[in-house]
Amino acid sequence: MSFPFKKFLSYYKPYLGLFVSILACALIVSIISLVYPLIVRYITKDVLINDLSTALSEVYWIGGLMFALVAIQNIGNFFVDYKGHELGARMESDLRRDLFMHMQQLSFSFFDKEKTGQLMSRLTTDLLWLSELYHHGPEDFLKHSVRILGAFIILFFINAPLTITVFCFVPFLAILGLYFNQILNKAYTRNKERIADVNGQVEDNLSGIRVVKSFANEPIEIEKFNIENDRFFDSRKKTYKAEAYFYNSLETIIKLITITVIIFGSASIAGNKLDLADLITFLLYINHLIEPIQKLIQVSTMYQDGFTGFLRFMEIMNVKPAIENKPNALTLQEIHGEIEFKHVSFRYEEHLDDVFTDLSLRVEPGKYIALVGPSGVGKTTLCSLIPRFYDVTDGELLIDGINVRDIELQSLRKAIGIVQQDVYLFAGTVMENIRYGNLSASDEEIITAAKHANAHEFIMSLPNGYHSEIGQRGVRLSGGQKQRLSIARVFLKNPPILILDEATSSLDNESESIVKESLETLAKGRTTIVIAHRLSTIRNAGRILVLTENGIVEQGTHDTLLTLLTLAGTYAKLYEKQFELQV
């Protein structure tokens, strides 16, 4: 990817005034720094040769002037340091905001592929370098090029041949800079990838810490972590080695310049082509050059570092959401809840086989249908097409007769409630978690929803009632309790379409019967698709669809399916299995 400069620079736009004043300050500061050796030269060459008493009073004056310059310089530096870093930090936070907003827009297919820890690295550590680059990049470049260029011009006027001699070292510096830039660029990219791997490892481990402990697999986890951690260390070690080589070679070249100036300068003095004051001035300027040259090259490594961060940022920013609103998408005000699959085929991205092909199905508004079938056959997938978590590969999916692709996404998803086997709750209070279903709900509405979900009683028995903290992902609650909170959340959302995806599968019998009861209340008056492998839970469904690898093979009520269809029918087989299990 070529570097997107336009986009990179666009982040300066809101702070142009601040940015320009920082640059102006940096410019003044570096010009002032160029003056000191000239003052020393003036004192040694023009003042101290006078009568000593008049000379001294002039030196006092010059001292005063120098102090004033120091004061201006320090105020300028203070502004550049303080405001400059502030500018960098602001721009960094803008980038982070944009990236986060963009990530929120991305589709399931993106998150299926990416590791959470890796994404977190891009949002955090990668962007840290950019605040440095945005601020130091232009400012240091300006400051130090002015100092180098200014020094050369001044030296040229003092003694051209000696200056040209010094100039001969420039190509060496340039070659050194270019060579190490390449190496360091790779090293910085590698460092970023490695720390992202460490983050990924930690994220994965901490999310699954309960599984880790239940299998007593801490030693393996530590081993896996150590591998990533060592790789990161290794990468850092190599980077520091390259940096050490680089900065010391640089130092050596600069020392060589000083030695050359001393030798050539002394020879010039012997040949009466230079006086002592000029040699001192030369040495002062050479000394003065060390910092800018070093900094300039440091800046270029900082460029590398920041640029790779920006490229990694843009990699994500360039991902288009697979599922987006059409420009003239319809916002659905009132949804009756008719769902129709018309010859729908679906395949996951990068997969060769369809999950299902040419599937047709119609659910009338307010009807309660059940979807059964072997695990892995695509029941969850089928339902995830309705809120457009994924788009159909072929065919059409209609809600109230309108193609879901034409419906404004937010209004579509607001119309669909999903209760799954895995409940995701956010860290926070019970109240906050239920309110997630409808942010504008009042406390009373939340309590009513909790009552409908059979959750009120257990909530009241918690230490702080509705204001009890539930812990990260709800660790302080039982499976059944979490499920009832998630149901309360959907009650509050009040969608016309409901998908219950094995909502009671992981619950014990007692919780299951409580949850089932609240689900039945929830389903009233809504178009409901219930996926279940416990057939007892779907006896009441108006229609039962059996999904197999060959699509929907059987439809009917529980009784008709059992009796009218042959016993070899898939549903009957499933039921037999269940029956055996229950006996």
Q: What is the binding site for ligand ADP (CB under 6 A)?
A: 112, 348, 351, 355, 375-381
Listed in sequence order, the DSSP H helices in 106-217 are: 108-113, 116-123, 125-158, 160-167, 170-207, 209-214
| Pick 380 or 433: Cβ nearer Mg ion | 380
Secondary structure letter of residue 407 according to DSSP:
B
Edge to edge, the sheet with strand 543-548 lists 416-420, 497-501, 527-531, 368-372, 543-548, 551-556
Instruction: Say how far apart CA 565 and CA 556 lie, in whole Å.
Output: 9
Judged by beta carbon distances under 5 to 8 A according to partner kind, the member of Mg ion, ligand ADP, none in contact with residue 348 is ligand ADP
Residue 228 phi/psi, 5° resolution?
-65, -40
Distances (CA, A) of 235 to 184, 425, 536: 11, 38, 57
Judged by beta carbon distances under 5 to 8 A according to partner kind, the member of ligand ADP, Mg ion, none in contact with residue 136 is none
Query: Shortest distance, CB of residue 532 to ligand ADP, whole angstroms?
Result: 11
Judged by beta carbon distances under 5 to 8 A according to partner kind, the member of ligand ADP, Mg ion, none in contact with residue 268 is none
Please choose, from the candidates 266, 285, 393, the residue with its C-alpha nearest in 3D space to the C-alpha of residue 341: 393
| Pick 260 or 506: Cβ nearer ligand ADP | 506
Distances (CA, A) of 192 to 185, 195, 232, 330, 351: 11, 5, 9, 43, 30
Judged by beta carbon distances under 5 to 8 A according to partner kind, the member of Mg ion, ligand ADP, none in contact with residue 377 is ligand ADP
| Pick 310 or 356: Cβ nearer ligand ADP | 356
Judged by beta carbon distances under 5 to 8 A according to partner kind, the member of Mg ion, ligand ADP, none in contact with residue 144 is none
| Pick 109 or 381: Cβ nearer Mg ion | 381
Please choose, from the candidates 456, 475, 453, the residue with its C-alpha nearest in 3D space to the C-alpha of residue 466: 456
Query: Shortest distance, CB of residue 134 to ligand ADP, whole angstroms?
Result: 37
In this structure, are residues 261 and 24 in contact, taking their beta carbons and an 8 Å threshold? no
Query: Shortest distance, CB of residue 378 to ligand ADP, whole angstroms?
Result: 4
Instruction: Say how far apart CA 576 and CA 583 lie, in whole Å.
Output: 11
Residues 6+ apart with CB under 8 A from 57: none
Query: Shortest distance, CB of residue 514 to Mg ion, whole angstroms?
Result: 22
Judged by beta carbon distances under 5 to 8 A according to partner kind, the member of ligand ADP, Mg ion, none in contact with residue 21 is none
Query: Shortest distance, CB of residue 376 to ligand ADP, whole angstroms?
Result: 4
Please choose, from the candidates 417, 427, 441, the residue with its C-alpha nearest in 3D space to the C-alpha of residue 530: 417
Three-state DSSP state, 288: helix
Query: Shortest distance, CB of residue 373 to ligand ADP, whole angstroms?
Result: 6
Query: Shortest distance, CB of residue 463 to ligand ADP, whole angstroms?
Result: 37
Please choose, from the candidates 328, 312, 309, the residue with its C-alpha nearest in 3D space to the C-alpha of residue 403: 328
| Pick 130 or 372: Cβ nearer ligand ADP | 372
Judged by beta carbon distances under 5 to 8 A according to partner kind, the member of Mg ion, ligand ADP, none in contact with residue 389 is none
- The residue sitting closest to Mg ion, measured at its beta carbon, is 380
Query: Shortest distance, CB of residue 376 to Mg ion, whole angstroms?
Result: 8
| Pick 355 or 490: Cβ nearer ligand ADP | 355
Rg of the chain over all Cα atoms, to the nearest angstrom: 36
| Pick 380 or 537: Cβ nearer Mg ion | 380
Judged by beta carbon distances under 5 to 8 A according to partner kind, the member of ligand ADP, Mg ion, none in contact with residue 112 is ligand ADP
Contacting positions for Mg ion (CB under 5 A):
380
